[in-house]
């Protein structure tokens, strides 16, 4: 059932810093289709989506077909505000506040799922025991684009990999199995999905035991800080120590 089960009651002790993996409130279970949901979704679809995706999801005028997009993709696209698309054509869909309310999203998702055969909304479980396997999977597969800290990065071609800092576990899992936009598909076994979302969830609230994390993206901010904080402070010190405080003493 679609539910973020398992709470992490335990605290992870990381370098003497206690961290709790905070949990998203579980969403209502949509597999129990509410009566009339598909019909309501169809009306919303006709009004808001059919212009591009076509009356039955076949895609119009080169816009992407979504017949086999499935629940997971529709849920991801609508909840992260990527759909409805609001950019110039050819640009990457932007993350924004969702355009539809909770009930409307569920209805739309139900309708899109009824069009064809696509992946259902996955179930994921956060499990602290999977933190280390999750780190491995993340480092191999996610960090190249999203960065080791999950802060996102440039992909070239005008695209970016989004920061994962705002992505709750279910959204991460939906993205992995559907491969939205430029993202490849990672349709992995359940345990690998769980491990990965657990580590992403850890990263979102990971402590920075060394102090201010300054972006967590390595040498660029570090170099800027070295010059504009460190060297600047030392230049100020040098000036204060070395300036002429008096020209009175004159022993000639």
Partner 1 sequence: MTAERLIAASLVVSALASLALVVVFFVGGHPQIEGILLALALGGLGAGIVIWSIRLLNAPIQVEERHPLASPEQTRNDAASTVDMRSITRRTLLVRLLLGAVGALAAALAIPALALGPGPGRELFQTPWRAGSRIVGDDGLPIRPDDLAIGSVRTVFPEDAIGSPEAVTLLIKVRPSELRLDAQRMSWAPEGCVGYSKICTHAGCPVGLYRAEEHALLCPCHQSTFDVLRGAVPTFGPAARPLPQLPIDVDADGFLVARGDFPEPVGPSFWNLTHTETDG
Partner 2 sequence: MFRWLDERLGLAGWARTGLRKVFPDHWSFLFGEVTLFCLVVLVLTGVFLTLFYVPDSTPVVYDGVYLPLHGQTVSAAYASTLDISFEVRAGLVMRQVHHWAALVFVAAIVVHQLRVFFTGAYRRPREINWLVGIGLLVFALAMGITGYSLPDDLLSGTGLRIIHSVIISIPFLGPWIGSLLFGGEFPGHAIISRLFVFHIMLLPALLIGLVGVHLAILWRQKHTQWRGARETESNVVGKAFWPTQVFKSTGLMMLTAAVLALMGGLIQINPVWIYGPFDPTRVSAPAQPDWYVGWLDGALRLFPPIEFTLFGITIPSPFIPGVLLPGLAFGIMTLWPFIESRVTGDNREHHLLDRPRDAPLRTAIGVAALSVFVILTLSAGNDVAAVILNVPLEATTNLLRLAVLVVPIAVGVLTYRVCVELTRREAAAPGGTRPVAVRLRRTADGGFEEVD
Q: Which residues bind partner 2 (CB under 8 A)?
A: 12-16, 128, 131-132, 134-136, 139-140, 143-145, 147-149, 152-158, 160-161, 199, 202-203, 206, 208-214, 216-220, 222-223, 225-227, 229-231, 233-235, 237-239, 241-244, 249
Closest separation in Å from C-beta 201 to partner 1: 22
Round to whole Å and give the CA distance between 5 and 227: 47
- Selection from partner 2, partner 1, none that 223 binds (CB < 5 to 8 A by kind) is partner 2
Write out the two tokens for 101.
């309310």
Residues that bind partner 1 (CB under 8 A): 16, 140-141, 143-145, 153, 155-157, 159, 161, 179, 181-187, 209-211, 240-241, 245-252
- Shortest distance, position 184 Cβ to partner 1, whole Å: 5
Partner that binds at residue 234, options partner 2, partner 1, none, CB closer than 5 to 8 Å by kind:
partner 2
As a whole number of angstroms, the distance between CA 228 and CA 251 comes to 39
Q: In the complex with partner 2, which residue's Cβ is closer, 47 or 241? A: 241
Shortest distance in whole angstroms from residue 62 CB to partner 2: 22
CA angle 4, 80, 191 (to 5 degrees): 35
Least distance between partner 1 and beta carbon 147 (Å): 9
Write the CB contacts of 98 (distance below 8 Å, at least 6 apart in sequence).
78, 79, 80, 81, 105
CB environment 1-19: b (16+ within 10 A), e (fewer) = ebebeeebeeebeeeeeeb
What six digits make up the tokens of 113?
């799922």
Nearest CA to 217 out of 161, 150, 157, 136 is that of 150
Looking at the Cβ atoms of 114 and 141, the one nearer to partner 1 is: 141
Q: Look-up: residue for tokens 């679809």?
A: 45
Tell me if residue 29 falls in helix, strand or coil: coil
Return the one option of partner 2, partner 1, none that residue 84 interacts with (CB less than 5 to 8 A, by type).
none
Choose from partner 1, partner 2, none: what does 225 bind? Cβ within 5-8 Å by kind.
partner 2
Please, which residue, 61 or 250, has the CB nearer to partner 1? 250
Binder of residue 235, out of partner 2, partner 1, none (CB less than 5 to 8 A by kind)? partner 2
Least distance in angstroms from the C-beta of 81 to partner 1: 19
Between the two ends of the chain, the Cα-to-Cα distance in Å is: 91
Q: Find which of partner 2, partner 1, none residue 185 binds, CB within 5 to 8 Å per kind.
A: partner 1
Taking a C-beta distance cutoff of 8 angstroms, is the pair 118, 65 a contact? no
The CB-of-57 to partner 1 minimum distance in angstroms stands at 18
CB 52 within 8 A of CB 61: yes
């Amino acid at each position: 059932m679609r539910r973020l089960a398992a709470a992490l009651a335990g605290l992870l002790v990381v370098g003497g810093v206690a961290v709790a993996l905070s949990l998203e409130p579980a969403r209502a279970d949509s597999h129990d289709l509410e009566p009339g949901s598909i019909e309501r979704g169809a009306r919303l679809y006709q009004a808001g989506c059919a212009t591009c995706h076509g009356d039955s999801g076949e895609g119009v005028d080169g816009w992407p077909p979504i017949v086999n997009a499935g629940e997971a993709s529709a849920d991801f696209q609508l909840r992260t505000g990527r759909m409805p698309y609001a950019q110039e054509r050819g640009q990457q869909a932007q993350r924004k506040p969702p355009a539809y309310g909770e009930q409307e999203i569920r209805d739309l998702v139900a309708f899109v799922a009824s069009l064809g055969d696509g992946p259902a909304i996955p179930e994921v479980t956060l499990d602290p025991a999977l933190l280390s396997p999750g780190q491995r999977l993340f480092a191999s597969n996610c960090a190249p684009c999203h960065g080791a800290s999950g802060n996102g990065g440039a992909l070239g071609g005008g695209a970016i990999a989004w920061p994962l800092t705002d992505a709750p576990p279910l959204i991460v899992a939906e993205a992995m199995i559907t491969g939205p936009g430029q993202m490849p598909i990672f349709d992995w076994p359940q345990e690998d999905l769980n491990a990965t979302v657990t580590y992403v969830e850890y990263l979102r609230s990971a402590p920075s035991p060394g102090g201010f994390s300054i972006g967590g993206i390595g040498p660029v901010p570090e170099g800027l800080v070295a010059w504009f904080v460190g060297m600047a402070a030392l230049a100020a010190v040098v000036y204060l120590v070395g300036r002429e405080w008096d020209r009175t003493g004159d022993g000639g």
